[in-house]
Structure 1
Amino acid sequence: MPLVEVALVMLALGFLLGFVGAGGSGFIISILTVVFGYPIHTALGTALAAMFFSSFSGSISHYREGNMELRAGVVVGLTGAAGAWISSGWSSLIPGDRLGYLTSGMLFASGLALWFRMVYVSRRPKAPDDTTLVTVKSVRFWLIAPLIGLITGSLSGLFGIGSTPFIQLGLMLLLGMSMRYAAGTTMLVIMPIALAGGAGYFTIGYLDVHLLLAVVIGTMSGAYVGAKFTKRVPVVWLKTFMVLTPMMGGAILLL
């Protein structure tokens, strides 16, 4: 019965997240810990693994629409997976209460990074949509791309978050991608990070497969329905809720 309740709550949460277009890993973590009483480590592992499924469907869509720089995504994603695998083991060394505070802080930082990304995009001259400004053949690419992956992957593995705004900022600011390419490529990057991080939590005993199924079924079903109502909301509302969503998750964790 508790798993049924989790699925129903995640259904409602997924509807909200699909409605405003937010990832919501922070909300998943906060609901599982504060409402249902799951240990913070289990909540982190579950939220991280759940992102693989949502990113998988999003990646296929972006790839078909031509919104993805495949080679850059593979490099950043694979190095990010290495970072997530390693850092997921580090989380077990941090006491649960302290990890909750740290995760809350990272969620607030994610909201601020997302706000900065929106400001940056609104003021940035439009980059060509058919190319990235730093080619995969350059030395700079091979120095920067793995670094973006390692840093963002480590953040994801340690705190169970998607690091979406951090990945997108890295792709745009350091690799010179347009917003269109950064959005699509980020979906690809998150897949190996979520898979490796989830596997890391599983090996140390902090991933409940049955709980993961309940979360995935609920959030993906709700998000599918909620996304159909997005166009009915003013753009300024969507941007506001996208920034506030991770912050609200972080605030709940402090309760």
Structure 2
Amino acid sequence: MLEIFIILIAGFGAGVVTGLVGASAVVIVTPFLVTFLGYDPYSAIGISLATDVVASSVSAYTYKSHGNINIKGGLLIAISAVTAAIIGSWFSGGMNSTTLGGMTGVIILLTGISFTRKPINQRVEEFKNKFDLNFFRERTRFSSILFGTLIGLMTGVFGAGGGVMILIVLTFVLDYKTHIAIGTSVLIMAFTAFFGSASHFIVEQHFPYLELILSGSAAFLGALTAAAFANGASEKKLSKAIGTAFIFLGLVVILN
């Protein structure tokens, strides 16, 4: 019963995080499974990616209903990311579990620090003002393939669906408006997470039915809840709260 409870909490938290900021389920599901239930990091990443599929799909549906998705412009990113995610998942299968778990913890920790320092919308505006991105904007196909490949590799190796990174690329390089960038990024993340998780399960030769049903169901509810909660809180408060939780989880995974 304790294991079921922890998986439900992890799935719900992943849905909330994805619904609020488009972050991957890896920041919640992986540390819970590895630290509290003793799962192998590779298995935990596969379950995290599968949870991502549910959370991202629910979030994408919400944005689609408001007309805030433009998948045509992000198609090259999606194709590149999916291909690279499959390659990355096979690569991570040969990594030492301790190394893989520690690297995942570092990713979570850095994500947390980033969120506590500044909300993503402010970071986007400041980055636009500081750096000249015309080189990438004038070569949108090249940029989409390049960044899509990098995001996909990260997805396959670390289990991070890359939602925030996709959001940044769509905003900086392709000059999407914020709401459309978020909606498109979570849709792309649903595809990268699906193929990444499938590759993990093929390599591992095991499909964790119970964990996926529990985590996926909770993620569905979490993503729906997040949409309502986000309307009543500022981005600054949300970023700090989520960032603090990420830092804690990242440290726990690294120390473990």
Question: 1:130 maps to which residue?
Answer: none
Letter aligned with residue 211 of structure 2:
L
Question: 1:153 maps to which residue?
Answer: 152
Question: 1:119 maps to which residue?
Answer: 122
Letter aligned with residue 254 of structure 1:
I
Structure 2: distance between partners of 1:12 and 1:189: 21
Structure 2: distance between partners of 1:139 and 1:122: 20
- Report the CA distance shift for 1:16/1:149 in structure 2 as closer, same or farther (over 3 A): closer
Question: 1:224 maps to which residue?
Answer: 224
3-state SS, counterpart of residue 93 of structure 1 = coil
Q: How many pairs does the alignment contain? A: 246
Q: CA contact under 8 A between 2:12 and 2:222: conserved in structure 1?
A: yes
Q: CA contact under 8 A between 2:83 and 2:152: conserved in structure 1?
A: yes
Structure 2: distance between partners of 1:168 and 1:12: 22
Structure 1: distance between partners of 2:167 and 2:6: 31
3-state SS, counterpart of residue 64 of structure 2 = helix
- Report the CA distance shift for 1:103/1:170 in structure 2 as closer, same or farther (over 3 A): same
Question: 1:179 maps to which residue?
Answer: 178
State which drifts further: 112-121 or 150-159.
112-121
Q: CA contact under 8 A between 1:49 and 1:195: conserved in structure 2?
A: yes
Question: 1:144 maps to which residue?
Answer: 143
Letter aligned with residue 33 of structure 1:
V
> Identity over aligned residues, as a percent?
20
Question: 2:57 maps to which residue?
Answer: 56
**Deviation at residue 180 of structure 1 after TM alignment:** 2.0
State which drifts further: 216-225 or 89-98.
216-225
Structure 2: distance between partners of 1:148 and 1:18: 20
Question: 1:249 maps to which residue?
Answer: 249
Structure 1: distance between partners of 2:233 and 2:243: 15
Structure 2: distance between partners of 1:176 and 1:232: 27
Structure 2: distance between partners of 1:180 and 1:241: 21
**Deviation at residue 197 of structure 1 after TM alignment:** 0.1
> What are structure 2's unaligned runs of at least 5 residues?
none
**Deviation at residue 222 of structure 1 after TM alignment:** 3.8
Mapping of residues 24-173 of structure 1, within 5 Å: 24-112=25-113, 115=118, 117-123=120-126, 140-173=139-172
**Deviation at residue 231 of structure 1 after TM alignment:** 4.2
- Report the CA distance shift for 1:121/1:139 in structure 2 as closer, same or farther (over 3 A): closer
Q: CA contact under 8 A between 2:58 and 2:224: conserved in structure 1?
A: no
Q: CA contact under 8 A between 2:58 and 2:220: conserved in structure 1?
A: no
TM-score by length of 2: 0.83
> What are structure 1's unaligned runs of at least 5 residues?
127-132
